[in-house]
Amino acid sequence: MNTIYMDHHATTPVDPVVLETMLPFFNQHFGNPSSTTHEYGHTANRAVHHARQQIAKLVGAEQSDEILFTSGATESNNLALKGVIKKSKPGSRLITIATEHKAILDTCKALEKEGYGVDYCKIDSSGKTDLVDLEQKITPQTVLISIQIANSEIGTIQPVADIARIAKKHDLLFHTDAAQACGKLDLNVSRDNIDLLSLSAHKMYGPKGVGALYVKQGIRLYPLIHGGGHERGMRSGTLNVPGVVGFGAAAEIARQDLLTEVPRLTALREKLIAGIQNRLDFVQLNGHPTDRLANNVNFSFAFVEGESLILACKPFALSSGSACTSASLQSSYVLKEIGVPDSLAHCSIRFGLGKSNTEEHIDLLIQTLEKQVTRLREMSPLYDMAKEGIDIDSFQWSDHHH
């Protein structure tokens, strides 16, 4: 049987229409969009302009040149944070939360080494930002708030419009990482008062290696890359035209599919959550019960090693968390930050649903989980004790299970 892909937070397959749109720009329309003295350059330039418009439309930007192309959301996040801070006074500060993607957290660490300040706002047990604490963290040195729209591991959606309102009230810039939210939520930078927004094509059925940063008109960023002054002087380098064209096509499809695909995925998500909770005991849903991405389910299955369960769940492609951190054997920092104990964090699996997934897949997955969790728990003396009602909270995973 073919593998059933359920790791759509990590990446998505390129939509066939997207691929078809890209292909001519590798060898037929191969021009440099900056060379506008001939038709080759003009063709590439027009294609890039069209892609900008498609992405601007998806996120509700008023002008297409507010879309800056990058190599992906990681670069976009770096450019947003460093670009704002380095344009500000020495000792400037920014506010974020500890469950952000590593592309934000590691950028913050790098900025701290350079003498800038970072304040981490409190979150609740579902991962939502504490808005009272956020406002209290603001100091005269604060110039930027950066909080993601939705978390890639637990799917929790943040109250972005409320965060933006606080930012505006204190005359601060607001950046949000929308890599996971794009194509799954109705994004509108104008309506929600967002100044900077990061996107990634490969999270929405576009190609890898291309992303964008929405930069509201009038905001200037210190560039990470210097050169020929491309992208309004904020990101030099010849554009990856096939990638940009593919990104535009993916954005167009995402915008059209939003009204049908989100309810479909939400129904699959709810079916999976109910199936797991009805068939298995000692399971915990991580993240917000309702304010979560339509395609995200994250469960801890107590008394089962997450990695063992993933391997046992043939024919499904699953992961235990963010693809960018899956090389480390430590339990998820996101789960740790929302208060999930290590013993449960090691037992967690993230299910990332997508266009290719069907109700039959969900039925099969529920059956597979029931069978494999039960089988693996038979090897756990702690499970037997828990079933008998013995308090086992004092027991933690020992390190030998790796």
The CATH number assigned to the domain holding 139 equals 3.40.640.10
Under a CB-based contact definition with an 8 Å cutoff, are residues 129 and 166 in contact? Answer: no
Given 228, 254, 280, which residue is the final one in a domain?
254
- pLDDT for position 388: 87
Tens-digit pLDDT profile for residues 293-351: 999 999 999 999 999 999 999 999 999 865 555 555 578 999 999 999 998 999 999 99
User: Considering only CA atoms, which of 72, 126, 145, 54 is closest in space to residue 298?
Assistant: 126
Identify whether residues 280 and 389 lie together within a single domain: yes
- pLDDT for position 401: 33
Q: Determine the Cα–Cα distance for residues 254 and 249; give it in Å rounded to an integer.
A: 9
**Residue listed under structure tokens 């069209």:** 50
Identify whether residues 61 and 104 lie together within a single domain: yes
Q: Determine the Cα–Cα distance for residues 218 and 65; give it in Å rounded to an integer.
A: 11
Q: Per-residue confidence of the chain (402 residues) as pLDDT tens digits?
A: 689 999 999 999 999 999 999 999 999 999 999 998 999 999 999 999 999 999 999 999 999 999 999 999 999 999 999 999 999 999 999 999 999 999 999 999 999 999 999 999 999 999 999 999 999 999 999 999 999 999 999 999 999 999 999 999 999 999 999 999 999 999 999 999 999 999 999 999 999 999 999 999 999 999 999 999 999 999 999 999 999 999 999 999 999 999 999 999 999 999 999 999 999 999 999 999 999 999 999 999 999 999 999 999 999 999 986 555 555 557 899 999 999 999 899 999 999 999 999 999 999 999 999 999 999 999 988 988 988 888 766 444 333 332
Identify whether residues 238 and 266 lie together within a single domain: no
In a domain, residue 229? The reply is yes
Tens-digit pLDDT profile for residues 232-247: 999 999 999 999 999 9
Please say if 313 is a catalytic residue: no
**DSSP code of residue 97:** E
Overall number of domains in the chain: 2
Identify whether residues 313 and 168 lie together within a single domain: no
Identify whether residues 227 and 98 lie together within a single domain: yes
Q: Determine the Cα–Cα distance for residues 320 and 331; give it in Å rounded to an integer.
A: 9
Looking up residue 267, the CATH number of its domain turns out to be: 3.90.1150.10
Identify whether residues 26 and 125 lie together within a single domain: yes
Q: Which domain holds residue 385?
A: 258-401
Structure tokens at 319: 């992961």
In a domain, residue 133? The reply is yes
Q: Determine the Cα–Cα distance for residues 266 and 80; give it in Å rounded to an integer.
A: 31
Side-chain-side CA neighbours of residue 360 (13 Å): 2
Give 396: exposed, middle or buried? Use CB within 10 Å, 0-12, 13-18, 19+: exposed
Given 196, 226, 254, which residue is the final one in a domain?
254
Structure tokens at 203: 């999270």
Given 254, 275, 310, which residue is the final one in a domain?
254
Give 116: exposed, middle or buried? Use CB within 10 Å, 0-12, 13-18, 19+: buried
Catalytic residue among 108, 121, 324, 347: 324
- pLDDT for position 27: 97
- pLDDT for position 384: 86
Q: How many CB atoms lie within 10 A of CB 391?
A: 8
